[in-house]
Amino acid sequence: MFCNQCEQTAKGTGCTVVGVCGKKPTVAALQDLLLYALKGLAIFAHEGRKQGIIDEEVNLFTYQALFSTVTNVNFDEQRLQDLITQAITLREKLKSQLVGQGGKITSADPAVAFQPASDLDALVEQGQAVGLLTDKEATEDIQSLQLTMLYGMKGLAAYADHAYILGKSDDRVAAYLQKALASIGDNNLTLQDWIGLTLQCGEINYLAMELLDSANTEAYGHPVPTAVPLGHKKGKAILVSGHDLKDLEELLKQTEGKGIYIYTHGEMLPTHGYPFLKKYSHFYGHYGTAWQNQKKEFKDFPGAILMTTNCIQEPQDLYKDNIFTSGLVAWPGVNHVSKGDFSPLIEKALGLPGFTEDEEKGQVLTGFARNSILNVADAVIEAVKKGAIKHFFLVGGCDGAKPGRSYYTDFVEKAPKDTVILTLACGKFRFFDRQLGDIGGIPRLLDVGQCNDAYSAIQVAVALSKAFDCEVNDLPLSLVLSWYEQKAVAILLTLLHLGIKNIRIGPSLPAFITPNVLQVLVDNFNIKPISTVEEDLAAILS
Ligand code: FSO
Ligand code: SF4
């Protein structure tokens, strides 16, 4: 196996024996093969679109297949085999439509005629033979751009899938994904073309994030500032992790009146801010921190657990029977909720002890998505003009297990008292419960939401730039980001597409970026790795 798509990749270069995430070589091979089969499908979809053939099922499958290969989503060989089979079925359907309309495929890419083996072992061998989806004949730098684009596309597909679940889609997203997949292997494309296609991923991701923002806010209202208890109530309990709001809503509906309290974990924390989810009185509090702490946090949770998206880790024996997956998440041998029926999970929760008494553990604030912040825009602008707020930091992104990530905690703690910190995604758990006080009633720590809500943070920056009549790059605003998996790659590409400069990124740079590609990013966007907190703060505030 070779996988280098996330920040925790082995030795900072690539997982070759087994994934640090727990991905087995067989699973890695099947994921590679799924992408290969998807590329074959994409070539037909791309060609078909030129002839007016647009297939919604193919588009949705494109999102789901890419999302299934994101870090910490699908570890299940059988599920991956099913997806490979589905790719071929859809490809053949498109092919007959295309031929029926007198069209034909001229591509010499063998992926268009790929036939999957019928048994799992042979399928794994096929996956090992195809390997990573890059053009092995291309230069190292072009392959680096292809991987950057592919990983960004996985993140983009995840956002598109989330929006789709809530009824929002835009054919430009699928059109881009299919065109980009079909382009891998096209040796007419130059390095400059690849830079363009990679940045286009950021452009289309911006569109997907906008769709997701409207999907979330139209379904559940605009988040409002909300205090979320960190303790618990006496009673049966279900813990919900991941990012899927629809699953959470369904679960809230199906548990109403059953004497079960619902708690959030990880990236689900900001869901407490949505008016249409808040209305459920049994939607109580938040338990635990970020995904990488789940093994120790889940074993102490006295109820059932639902993983709605990434990031799942190998379930431990102590809670393996209590954990359920939904949607695209899969771990072999773990219960899966199908067709939105949460009754097995609810039964499990009712059979577990739950919390035996109430416990207070303080609370944290969330719900500072774009609407909440823009509602107090006048006060914020006034505070900046009076000099009460000197600088804004966006300290956000993914969390992970590396010790270097304490940088982000230190950064927030050492940021001067006249600065405001916006945060989002699971990286916030490094400091989410710090009491940083307020500036004239404006909290110094503002939780914008999940990584899925990066669009909201961008809108805040755009609104500030309008208010101060300057470019976003000229605002007293600095982005200090942490990355882990491919949604972060997609967001970074969006920020670059929008021309945002001077981003600091850590805890380490992606293994898939070659020195030349990094130089392009430095030259055009002045992107830089994090250094020490003291040095970075001094440089930013000088
Ligand atoms: Fe974190 Fe995991 Fe939200 Fe990622 S839970 S690491 S960027 O999947 O999605 O922030
Ligand atoms: Fe390694 Fe990350 Fe790939 Fe898992 S997803 S195999 S940890 S690079």
- The string of pLDDT tens digits covering residues 275-326 is 999 999 999 999 999 999 999 999 999 999 999 999 999 999 999 999 999 9
User: What pLDDT, on the 0 to 100 scale, is given for residue 467?
Assistant: 93
Q: Is the CB of 70 under 6 A from ligand 2?
A: no
Mean of pLDDT over the chain: 97
Would the pLDDT of 404 be above 90?
A: no
Q: Is the CB of 4 under 6 A from ligand 2?
A: yes
DSSP letter (8 states) at residue 468: T
**Given pLDDT bands bounded at 50, 70 and 90, which one contains residue 231?**
very high
Question: CA geometry: angle at 381 spanning 217 and 478, to 5°?
Answer: 75
Q: Cα separation of 274 and 222, whole Å?
A: 6
- Same-domain status, 46 and 161: yes
Token pair, residue 485, equals: 């998996």
**Given pLDDT bands bounded at 50, 70 and 90, which one contains residue 28?**
very high
CATH number at residue 286: 3.40.50.2030
Q: Is the CB of 197 under 6 A from ligand 1?
A: no
- What percent of the chain is modeled with pLDDT above 70? 100
Residue 357 located in a structural domain: no
Q: Is the CB of 6 under 6 A from ligand 2?
A: yes
Ligand 1 centroid vs 291 CA: distance in angstroms? 8
User: What pLDDT, on the 0 to 100 scale, is given for residue 382?
Assistant: 96
Q: Is the CB of 132 under 6 A from ligand 2?
A: no
Q: Which tens digit of pLDDT belongs to each residue from 426-446?
A: 999 999 999 999 999 999 999
Residue 358 located in a structural domain: no
Q: Is the CB of 84 under 6 A from ligand 1?
A: no
Ligand 1 centroid vs 96 CA: distance in angstroms? 39
Q: Cα separation of 293 and 308, whole Å?
A: 17
Using most ligand atoms within 8 A of CB, pick from 1, 2, 7, 9 the residue to mutate for ligand 2.
9
CB atoms within 10 A of CB 1: 21
- Same-domain status, 298 and 187: no
- Same-domain status, 247 and 214: no
Q: Is the CB of 149 under 6 A from ligand 1?
A: no
Would the pLDDT of 353 be above 90?
A: yes
Ligand 2 centroid vs 72 CA: distance in angstroms? 8
**Domain C-terminal end among 219, 247, 265:** 219
Contact (Cβ atoms closer than 8 angstroms) between residue 244 and residue 268: no
Would the pLDDT of 403 be above 90?
A: no
Ligand 1 centroid vs 330 CA: distance in angstroms? 16
Would the pLDDT of 106 be above 90?
A: no
- Same-domain status, 344 and 377: no
Token pair, residue 13, equals: 């270069």
User: What pLDDT, on the 0 to 100 scale, is given for residue 453?
Assistant: 97
User: What pLDDT, on the 0 to 100 scale, is given for residue 187?
Assistant: 87
Ligand 1 centroid vs 70 CA: distance in angstroms? 10
Atom of ligand 2 nearest to the CA of 9: 8
ipTM of the modeled complex: 0.97
Q: Is the CB of 488 under 6 A from ligand 1?
A: yes
Residue 361 located in a structural domain: no
Would the pLDDT of 245 be above 90?
A: yes
User: What pLDDT, on the 0 to 100 scale, is given for residue 366?
Assistant: 98
User: What pLDDT, on the 0 to 100 scale, is given for residue 402?
Assistant: 87
Report the domain count for the chain.
3
Q: Cα separation of 486 and 134, whole Å?
A: 16
Tell me what the mean pLDDT of segment 2-18 comes to: 97
Q: Give the residue whose CA is nearest to atom 2 of ligand 2.
A: 6
**Domain C-terminal end among 191, 219, 247:** 219
Ligand nearest to the CA of 288: 1
Atom of ligand 2 nearest to the CA of 5: 8
**Given pLDDT bands bounded at 50, 70 and 90, which one contains residue 513?**
very high
Ligand 1 centroid vs 260 CA: distance in angstroms? 27
User: What pLDDT, on the 0 to 100 scale, is given for residue 104?
Assistant: 86
- Same-domain status, 389 and 341: no
Q: Is the CB of 267 under 6 A from ligand 1?
A: yes
Q: Which tens digit of pLDDT belongs to each residue from 148-204?
A: 999 999 999 999 999 999 999 999 999 999 999 999 989 899 999 999 999 999 999
Provide the domain limits for residue 325: 226-351
Contact (Cβ atoms closer than 8 angstroms) between residue 193 and residue 142: no
| DSSP state string for 278-332 | HT-TTEEEE-S--GGGHHHHHTT--SEEEE-SS---PPPTTTTTTEEE-TT-B-T
User: What pLDDT, on the 0 to 100 scale, is given for residue 307?
Assistant: 98
Helix (H) or strand (E) holding 492: helix 486-497
Strand partners, 392: 420, 477
